[in-house]
Amino acid sequence: MGTHHPTAIIGAGLGGLALALGLARAGREVHVYEQASELGEVGAGISLSPNAVKALRYLGLGDAVSAQADEPPIQITRHFETGEVLVHIDRASTEEKLGAPYLQMHRADLHQLLTKAYLKINPGGITLAAELTDIIEADDTYQLSFNNGEHCSTDLLIGADGLKSTVRRLVFAEDEAEFTGYVAWRGLVPTEEVAELELKAGSSVFVSPGRIFVRYPVRKGKIQNVVAFSKADNWAAEGWSQTGKLSTLQTLFSDFHPEVNTVLAAFKGAEIHKWGLFARQPLKQWIKTHAAVLGDAAHPMLPWFGQGAATALEDAVIMSRCLLEFEDTQKALQHYQDGRLERVTEVHLESHRGGDTLMGQDPYALAKNPLRTEDTLGLTVYDPSTVAL
């Protein structure tokens, strides 16, 4: 029925493209299906902790990422009102300590690097405007149907299709997402628009009970990535595509430090991206015969530890290595799952606790209590390119 692909990946996000690149670099035939009509990522920054950078180096993108990313020398957490520094994290020696640097970059830039690298090896290896609508298991293959009328069969189906994964729903299980009580806002501000602040390199996080404001530079300091979090009683829809009124955000953070309000005043337009944070339990089973899921399709992460993209990249590298090392597909998938479940469950649980840790206490408590971060927990020393399979 239709085209046959030895490996079909659903979703051309960071995780899906990373897996496609990893397999294509080793000569494995692979094809990616993406429901969007054009390739691109949301206009937002992304933090790449050392474990993510190690994954990108395995994929041959280490130099390209370093050339475009910002390497923050410090990360500071400040009192929301006074600006007093509560926590100071030195990032300057991260590579020496953990084997790779801590980087920050524009998410679209990383997506473009992955896309170009994959298509250079496999031109035509992505089909756009192809939303997966049905999956039928037949013998040792899966028959796939898409809303554009296309059909294909595959020996190996990989769901890299995110929070609302169709592969997870049709092949594995669909659990209900629960609203966490937190709402996030995000946007980008040209640094020249806030030149009077003379912002220094590095990340700044302003914390108060129930609210957080984060900003850090991307594109070599030319843009400030902004993310803000607040509490809410309810929220209707899961996803990143919604917007809210900028004036609402400005009112919510009007009592924050002048730096925060100057940055918010620099936004153009009346709306800003806004989304509710929903929690899902990670799947207990990521594989089934000749199908598997990775990234948010398997273990949706909350953003508190900045490990959502990182763990998706880890998944992609580990799955690539398993499929290349073990000739039997089911054995390869079993090694992939066995190698990932324990670690990802730990990261998942810690990421769920993070919001309450940051916003559920007096800011000065952060300065007094032991730090509980991705670094202090040892999560970022992990290297998906060398860990035993």
User: How far apart are alpha carbons 52 and 41 in whole angstroms?
Assistant: 18
**Known catalytic residue: 216?**
yes
Q: Is 116 helix (H, G, I), strand (E, B) or coil?
A: helix
> Which of the residues 58, 102, 118, 216 is marked catalytic?
216
- 289 and 329 in contact (C-beta within 8 Å)? no
**Can you give the length of the chain in residues?**
389
Q: For residue 249, what is the enclosing H or E element?
A: helix 246-252
Torsion of CA 337, 341, 343, 347, to 10 degrees: 130
CA gap 143, 151 in Å, rounded:
7
Measured torsion, CA atoms of residues 270, 273, 276, 277, in degrees rounded to the nearest 10: -150
Give me the residue label for tokens 């290349």.
Answer: 324
One-letter identity of residue 128: L
Cα distance between residue 179 and residue 166, in whole Å: 20
Q: Which two tokens stand for residue 130?
A: 């192809």
Counting beta carbons within 10 angstroms of the beta carbon of residue 43, is it exposed (0 to 12), middle (13 to 18) or buried (19 or more)? middle
Residue among 322, 339, 313, 389 nearest 61 (CA): 313
What 8-state DSSP symbol labels residue 176? Answer: P
**Phi, psi angles (nearest 5°) of residue 3:** -80, 150
Q: What residues are labeled active site?
A: 216
